Chain A
Amino acid sequence: MDQDESLNTLTDTSPHVLPPYPWSCVRKTAQVGLGLAGAAAALGLLANIVESAPSFLNTVRLALAAGGVLTTGIAVSKRPDLWRVWALGAGTALLAYFGTPVHWDSLRLVLGVLTTAAIAGAVLAVATLRWRYIVASVLILFHFFGIFMATVSPPPSPWLAEQIYHRLYSPYLQFVYLRNAYHFYSPQPGPASIVVFMLKTEIGEEPLPDGTKRKRYEYRWIILPQRYEGKRDPMGLTYIRRLSLTHHASQGQSDAMMPQTFERAEVHERRKELAMRLGGPYYPFHPVEPQYNQYRVPNPDVMRYVLPSYAQHVILENTPDAATAAKTTVKIYRLEHETLGVAEFNAGIDPYHPLTYRAFFLGEYGFRPDPTDSNRKRVRIELLDPQEKMLYWLVPVIPRTTNLPPGSSRKDYEDYLSAHALGVPLEDLEKEPHASRTLNWSLLR
């Protein structure tokens, strides 16, 4: 028979052509699943009664619960037209819920959802086609109204949408991960950011000519993402994922420089001190960017959790043991990479030139004793100096102010980023050992 012809005549699999799985077989499968989940629940009861239940009991319970749900799931998939198999499915999921250890709370959430879905399946299996359509229609409307709410939820959103989204849809959309508003490249495609870490590890002491000693340090730059190291798969997914990491660290507050805040007044004063040659560290303001735009406070969540988490990861991944990690600190910089305008492009500027980056200092992190630990044994990652004068300020990379002779191999820019990271004056950057420790900007290409 021609395929098109067959399509017009066959709209359902006839039981005559494809005999359904017999109920006895489906029932037995589902009962096995139910039994496994029941065993998990029984072991759960046992674990509650016995005070010092062995930890492997939890593993056994999980295996039984998962095996039970999977087995009954197969049974349901064989005969979804039977309410009885759905009912057995609901029972299995419920028993698995009680069989799952309490600390696996997110799995319990899933089992709760499965129980509800199985009960709904049982009801729908006995309902007439019309009622099935009605229920499905209500669910369709609910679902897509939620998707619509998600698309209008980013501010400025109407009050009604906010209320509906948060009160009605948030748990559902969170669970199914459908909260995206799909505002791609809106309102404008912004520049990408790179995060640069400078690790500083104490590696001992060295004697000075006057007989005293000073600490020796090892320095190491980590770039996120470094294109050729980050691109570890043929389609570059690992690289894009690393760019997502930098994107999350780039979320900033737009009102950080509001004049009414005392913080603004103070950080500006502190910053101005550094922009004057007073004998101490010197970091001029960026000559092009307006000063108000040179102070970018990250979002509170970035400050409080994202940056500490990243710092902890970088230190632990790049030190061989806990003792070395304890002696290591990391300075974090976010390098906003400006996209060149057409005029700059026509002027022949290299899109990867160091002058096209705007580096913002996000703080120096290290491990410190955890104040919440009364034994003072535990450590936690912390921002070491919240009063650091350059914190959240743009560390300038600016054109060299003195003309270079033609053919000079010296850099045509002043790299205050490296100077700040290494804690040395700019003038010393071209001398060893600092010269070999400066950031290799070509790695950002």
Chain B
Amino acid sequence: MSTTQLPTGRTAWQRWTGFWFTPQDPVTLGFMRIITGLLILYIHLAYSLDFQAFFGNRGWWAHEYAERERKELPAQIGDFWSWDENKAGPRLPDAPHRRQAVLEFVKISAEMPPAERKHALRLLDRLAKDEVGAYSQVTLNYLGRLGTLDRTWDASLNYLVEEKWPEVGPNEPEPLRIYPPPEWMSGNWKKEGTDSRTEVADEIRSFRKLLPKDPDSRKYVYHHFAELNRSYRRAFVDFLEKMPSDPTERAQIIAYLDYWNTDPRDADTRGAPIFSVWFHITDPTEMAVMHAAMLVVFFLFTIGFCTRVMAVLTWFAILSYIQRSVHVLFGQDTMMNILVIYLMIGNSGAALSVDRLIARYRATKASLARSGTIDAATRAFLAAAPLSSGAGFGIRLVQIHFCFIYLASGLSKLKGSPWWNGTAFWDVMVNPEFTLMRYQWFESLIRGWASLKPLYYLIITISCWFTLALEISFAFLVWTRMRIVLLWAAILLHALIGVLMGLNLFELMMMVMLLAYFPPGVIRDRLKGSPDLPKLAYSFDPANPESARGAALIEAVDVEGQVNMEPKKGATPTSNVSTLFTNLRLLRPVRWVLWIPGMKALLSSRLFPTANK
């Protein structure tokens, strides 16, 4: 919502730039900065209680795992041109014992000299070419029946080729007779040559070298290949055939496969472009020092000191916590990040900040130097922070992002039947981990409500409809005269969630975002002091640089215009430090600083330099 009247009949470009870049009162964004800063301070102070558990070397999400994820996490994107989008790669089974078995198979294969490995993999290669899959199943079933004794294998393969069992020596035990699959023994299959029985028997014999010795492990390997479809089987063979000759590189590839279940060479990207100081600082003492430094940064951001720089530092600091331990995050951290990004981009330090006080001081000082008095333009500057394009831009960014959040949240709920039949609201209300169910009064309240069937259905239905209607319509109606209704409805929704579900900080963040929709003057007016504030007079000599500086300092902190500045040559001050700290609205809450030994004298010498001489 803009504060300036825009001409009608504007072009699309004018409307666009008018929407995004019209200067706005920076008080709203400044207020959002203060509330966000306080919430950030609380959130990160609370981290102090669990600091090592969440971010330490041995935390819940230990440093070694976080580092590995950051540096290795594979991302595979479906092919852009080919219709075969699922790029097949080597895969291990998910079940740990099966993964172990297949991994052993991979390691045995990898250790073989390349030529021998290729030779041993001929059977798998054949299975990978089996389009129908029946041949593969028959083969793998047959291998499964052969067990682990080489004699049994040899006898059966001899039967496959020669169609008779081998001769057994006088002192040799009879091998177990496992007949080849009946499909293979039809008589149409030639004995010699390409794709002959002799060749397949040889392939099976050399494949045996790759198999683990343990019978269960062998079974798991067969099962794995039986479960893989043709393209994945093909990929598995290719993976084994293309093993590098360097043992270190080979070991790294196998370790990567074990951990991430993919060939690192297949990954389109590896690792994540994220930042956190906690990836690099792991010593508990150093971490504590850095954490304290970050709390100081959050404080400076909150009070708006060097806001532009502190906002950037605050953002990188909160990213440090967020990116290090995603397992402890929830919606609140997402909202906090969004707010800080836009407060950083927008000119959030232009009002309600130390920066603004400094600007007031500099403007007063410049005016006194120019004219010996506070001129009209400077008075206007002191009366209200100038409209700011940056503040307007920041507000717009929050507004638009909030619309995305609500719309996505509302539309995604339509996927679930509980949001259609109303039970979603019930499920939320009786969730024992989040709600106030642990309190007897709350449980009694719910029981009372649930005991009246029409009341139960009335509340769950209206609540679900209310949530859906608000979240879906918000993005469209908030730009109309319905804005005030929507804002109250949204505040009600978030207040209820905050109280009933314990997600209070998350909901407070959402409410801070809602402030972006408030008309520009609303917050400024609410923050404005009463007209009954005490009035003071301050006489100073504008020709005296020290006196002018004192006057500029007082003007800087006199945000309510309580002090009547009286430039007079040779004047002596008519107030003192105690009076100022007792009466000025901005100074009153910090009047305790005067208790610090020496502080009163110091301030006196700066604010009332001529009185001390």
Identify the A interface with B (CB < 8 A): 1-4, 6-14, 16-19, 70, 73-74, 76-77, 80, 103-104, 106-107, 109-110, 133, 136-137, 140, 144, 147-148, 151, 154, 159, 162-163, 166-167, 170-171, 174-178, 180-189, 191-192, 194, 227, 232-233, 235-245, 247-248, 253, 260-263, 267, 297, 300, 303-306, 308-310, 312-313, 316-317, 337, 339-342, 345-346, 351-352, 356, 363, 372, 383, 386-387, 445
Complex contact B58–A192 (CB within 8 A):
no
Interchain CB contact under 8 A, B23 and A189: no
Contact residues on B (Cβ < 8 Å of other chain), bracket: 35 or more
Whether the pair B327, A106 counts as a contact (CB closer than 8 A) is no
One of B160-168, B205-213, B477-485, B498-506 at the interface: B498-506
Cβ–Cβ contact B433 & A313, under 8 A: no
B267-286 to A contact mask, C-beta < 8 Å, 1/0: 01100111111011000000
16 extra interface residue pairs, beta carbon distance < 8 Å, beyond A187-B416, A306-B327, A352-B438 = A11-B23, A18-B362, A18-B381, A144-B404, A170-B269, A185-B428, A233-B49, A236-B502, A238-B49, A240-B330, A244-B329, A308-B65, A312-B62, A339-B430, A345-B446, A383-B96
B96 touches A74 (CB 8 A): no
B377 in contact with A263 (CB, 8 Å): no
Whether a CB of chain A sits under 8 angstroms from the CB of B523 is no
Question: Once the chains are docked, how many angstroms separate the CA of A104 from the CA of B430?
Answer: 47
Which residues of B are at the interface with A, using a C-beta cutoff of 8 A?
A: 3-4, 16-17, 20-21, 23, 25, 42-43, 45-46, 49-50, 53-54, 58-62, 65, 68-70, 75, 77-78, 80, 85, 93-98, 100, 223, 226-227, 251, 255, 259, 261, 268-269, 272-277, 279-280, 306, 308-309, 312-313, 316, 319, 322-323, 327-332, 334, 337-338, 341, 359, 362-363, 366-367, 376-381, 383-384, 386-387, 393, 397, 400-401, 404-405, 407-409, 412-413, 415-419, 424, 426-428, 430-434, 437-438, 443, 446-447, 450-451, 456, 502-505, 520-521, 524, 528
CB closest chain-B residue, reference A114 = B312
Evaluate whether A235 and B505 lie within 8 angstroms (CB atoms) in the complex, with A263-B95, A300-B94 already known: yes
B433 to chain A, nearest CB (A): 4
CA distance A351 to B312 in the complex (A): 46
Which residues of B have CB within 8 Å of A103? 280
Q: Could you tell me if B58 and A316 are in contact, using CB atoms closer than 8 angstroms?
A: yes
Contact, CB under 8 Å: A109 / B20 = no
- What is the minimal beta-carbon distance from B381 to any residue of chain A, in angstroms? 5
Interchain CB contact under 8 A, B58 and A248:
no
Q: Identify the closest chain A residue to B418 (Cβ).
A: A188
A-B residue pairs in contact (CB < 8 Å), sample of 11? A6-B380, A19-B362, A77-B306, A106-B276, A106-B279, A136-B21, A186-B419, A188-B419, A261-B227, A352-B438, A387-B97
Q: Which residues of A contact B100 (CB under 8 A)?
A: 386
Cβ A167 vs Cβ B77 within 8 A: yes
A262 CA to B327 CA, complexed, in Å: 32
Q: Is the CB of A3 within 8 A of B384?
A: yes
A63 to chain B, nearest CB (A): 12
Q: How far is the CB of A435 from chain B (nearest CB, A)?
A: 26
* A98 CA / B514 CA spacing, docked (Å): 42
Q: With A241-B54, A300-B261 known to touch, is A236 a contact of B384 (CB < 8 Å)?
A: no
**Which residues of B sit under 8 angstroms from A194, Cβ to Cβ?**
433
| Contact B20 A106, beta carbon cutoff 8 Å | no
Nearest chain B residue, comparing its CB with the CB of A2: B383
Residues in A whose Cβ lies below 8 Å from that of B280? 103-104, 106-107
A18 to B277, CA, bound (A): 38
Give the residues in chain A near B438, CB-CB below 8 Å.
227, 352, 445
Contact B327–A248 (Cβ < 8 Å): yes
For the complex of A and B, list the 9 residue pairs with the smallest distance between their C-beta atoms, beginning with the closest: A187-B416, A386-B97, A192-B433, A386-B96, A186-B412, A77-B308, A183-B412, A151-B408, A187-B415
Which A residues are CB-close (under 8 A) to B61? 306, 309
Please indicate the chain B residues that have their CB under 8 angstroms from the CB of A241 in the complex. 50, 54, 328, 330
For residue A264, give the distance in angstroms from its CB to the closest CB of chain B. 10
Q: What residues on A are CB-neighbors of B505 within 8 Å?
A: 235, 237
Given contacts A187-B416, A303-B96, is CB(A1)–CB(B379) below 8 Å? yes
Contact of B259 with A187 in the complex, beta carbons under 8 Å: no
The reply to whether B409 and A183 contact each other, CB–CB distance below 8 Å, is yes
A237: shortest Cβ distance to chain B, in Å?
Answer: 5
Q: Give the chain B neighbours of A4 by CB distance below 8 A.
A: 521
Closest residue on chain A to residue B277 by CB atoms: A107
In the bound complex, what is the Cα–Cα distance between A237 and B321 (angstroms)?
A: 15
Q: Closest approach, in angstroms, between the C-beta of A271 and any C-beta of chain B?
A: 14
- Determine if A339 and B447 form an interchain contact, defined as CB atoms under 8 angstroms apart: no
Shortest Cβ gap from B202 to chain A (Å): 28
Partner of B16 from the list A137, A166, A235 (CB cut-off 8 Å) is: A137
Whether B338 and A178, one on each chain, are in contact in the complex, defined by CB atoms closer than 8 angstroms, is yes
**A237-B46, A313-B60 known; A352 vs B380 contact (CB < 8 Å):** no
Which residues of the other chain, A, contact B58 by a CB distance below 8 angstroms?
Answer: 312-313, 316-317
A182 x B405 contact (CB < 8 A): yes
Which chain A residues border B456 with CB–CB below 8 Å?
342
Docked complex Cα distance between A260 and B337 (Å):
44
Within the assembled complex, what's the spacing in Å between the Cα atoms of A352 and B439? 12
CA distance A338 to B291 in the complex (A): 39
Closest chain A residue to B251, Cβ basis: A372
Of B59, B341, B405, the contact of A176 (CB 8 Å cutoff): B341
Cβ of B308 and Cβ of A7 under 8 Å apart? no
Q: Is A310 within 8 A of B60, CB to CB?
A: yes
Q: Are the CB atoms of A175 and B274 closer together than 8 Å?
A: yes
Of A144, A166, A186, which contacts B77 at CB under 8 A?
Answer: A166
